């Protein structure tokens, strides 16, 4: 595995990532990424970018009534192996072992899922990956975005927890970032309309449903 493949790669914690998340966040990460699944139109072509161990696939089966065409992109081979074993019901799922920055689809998608993806990237790389993903989404398509959130009003505990997480995952996964990128600015700059927002874990985690403007390539 080359140097680039080791950066932001969650192979090492794959076996304990889900139990650790449940212990620290009491299921808030899972609830946040599932917050707007029910609003995905039936029959949609869906991209899940950085889906981890694939619990979201089981939630799609449980929550979503229609059949979806899902492309599941994950950089960690061990995470992807776990995802392949999940029940995905009648949904058509294509698994892709790649970093999202290296993924090049042949057709655009109707909906994007990015749960705890952008917190791995520095500001410049986050912008590049945002632009890359934006180019994959159809006009009027939906973007289900979930990630950590820090602002001036955030309690000190949340700021300290975020720093501790970056120290841990920089050591385990060679995460390149040391702080959260300004995703609000990127979505606003690109003209996305926010259709819904839910906060979890004392507003440390936020889930948003955003829609790509018509007339934007």
DSSP 135-177: TTEEEEEEEEEEEE---TTS-HHHHHHHHHHHHHHHHHH----
Q: Which residues lie below 8 Å from residue 163, measured CB to CB, with a gap of 6+?
A: none
User: 71, 48 in Cβ contact below 8 A?
Assistant: yes
pTM of the model: 0.93
Tokens 């920089």 correspond to what residue? 170
- Give whole-number Cα distances, 173 to 68, 82, 188, in Å: 31, 17, 30
What confidence score (pLDDT) does residue 153 get?
86
- 54-66, pLDDT tens digit by residue? 999 999 999 887 7
Task: Identify the band that residue 217 occupies on the pLDDT scale cut at 50, 70 and 90.
Answer: low
pLDDT (average), residues 166-178: 91
Task: List the structure tokens of 118.
Answer: 């952008």
Task: List the structure tokens of 187.
Answer: 């979505």
What confidence score (pLDDT) does residue 15 get?
85
CATH topology (fold) of 3-211: Rossmann fold (3.40.50)
For residue 9, pLDDT over 90 is answered with no
User: 84, 61 in Cβ contact below 8 A?
Assistant: no
- 43-86, pLDDT tens digit by residue? 999 999 999 999 999 999 998 877 899 999 999 999 999 999 99
C-alpha to C-alpha distance for 194 and 156, rounded to whole angstroms: 28
Q: Which residues lie below 8 Å from residue 42, measured CB to CB, with a gap of 6+?
A: 64, 65, 66, 67, 68
Q: List, in sequence order, every residue forming a beta bridge with 117; answer none if it has no partner.
A: none
Q: Where are the domains of the chain?
A: 3-211
């Amino acid at each position: 595995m080359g140097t680039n493949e080791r950066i932001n790669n969650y192979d090492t914690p794959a076996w304990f990532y889900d139990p650790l998340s449940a212990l620290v966040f009491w299921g808030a990460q899972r609830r946040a990424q599932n917050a707007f699944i029910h609003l995905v139109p039936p029959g949609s072509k869906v991209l899940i970018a950085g889906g981890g161990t694939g619990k979201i696939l089981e939630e799609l089966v449980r929550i979503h009534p229609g059949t979806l065409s899902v492309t599941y992109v994950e950089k960690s081979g061990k995470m992807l192996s776990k995802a392949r074993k999940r029940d995905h019901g009648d949904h058509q799922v294509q698994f892709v072992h790649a970093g999202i920055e290296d993924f090049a689809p042949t057709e655009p998608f109707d909906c994007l899922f990015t749960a705890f993806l952008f917190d791995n990237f520095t500001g410049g790389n986050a912008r590049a990956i945002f632009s890359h993903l934006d180019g994959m989404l159809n006009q009027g398509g939906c973007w289900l975005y979930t990630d950590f959130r820090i602002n001036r009003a955030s309690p000190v505990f949340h700021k300290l927890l975020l720093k501790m997480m970056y120290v841990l995952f920089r050591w385990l996964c060679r995460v390149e970032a040391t702080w959260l990128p300004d995703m609000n600015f990127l979505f606003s700059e690109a003209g996305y309309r926010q259709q819904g927002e839910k906060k979890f874990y004392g507003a440390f985690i936020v889930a948003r449903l955003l829609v790509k403007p018509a007339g934007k390539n």
